[in-house]
Amino acid sequence: MAAIEESLAREVPVPLGRFAESGKVPRISTKTLSPRKRLVYGTALAVLVLCMLFTLILVQIIVGGPQMVCESTAVSSELLTAFLTVLGWIAGTYFGRSG
C-alpha cells in the first residue's frame, strides 16, 4: 500500500511570502499532496484483480495443453476482456491524472 500511495503522491510549488514588488523573485517551497485513501485502495484492488486474472489465464493455457496454445482461441475472450479492462483502469489512474 505504501508503494502505491508514494507513487500517486505529487509535489506542488507553494510561494513563500508576498512577491508583488517589481523585480523581486518569490521564494518557492514544495508541498507534497498525498492521494485519497479511496484511490489508493482502488488501485491496490485493481492490481490484485490483475494478478488473479493473469493467474487464471495461465491456468487456462496450462490445463488446455500444447494443442490449445497453438490455437487462436487459447485464451477465453471474457478473461482477456476483463484483463485488459483492469489494465486500462490502472493505466488510467497513473497516466490520466491532471497536473
pLDDT at position 20 is: 52
pTM, whole model, 2 decimals?
A: 0.63
Instruction: Give the pLDDT of residue 82.
Output: 83
For the chain, what are the domain ranges?
2-95
What pLDDT shows up at residue 75? Answer: 66
pLDDT score, position 77: 76
Residue 23: what residue type?
G
Please tell me the predicted confidence (pLDDT) of residue 99: 43
Q: Which of 51, 43, 52, 30 is nearest to 96 (CA)?
A: 43
* Residue type for position 77: S
Residue pair 81/41 in contact by the 8 Å Cβ criterion: no
Residue owning grid cell 500500500: 1
The low-confidence residues of the chain, meaning pLDDT below 50, are 99
Q: What is the pLDDT of residue 23?
A: 58
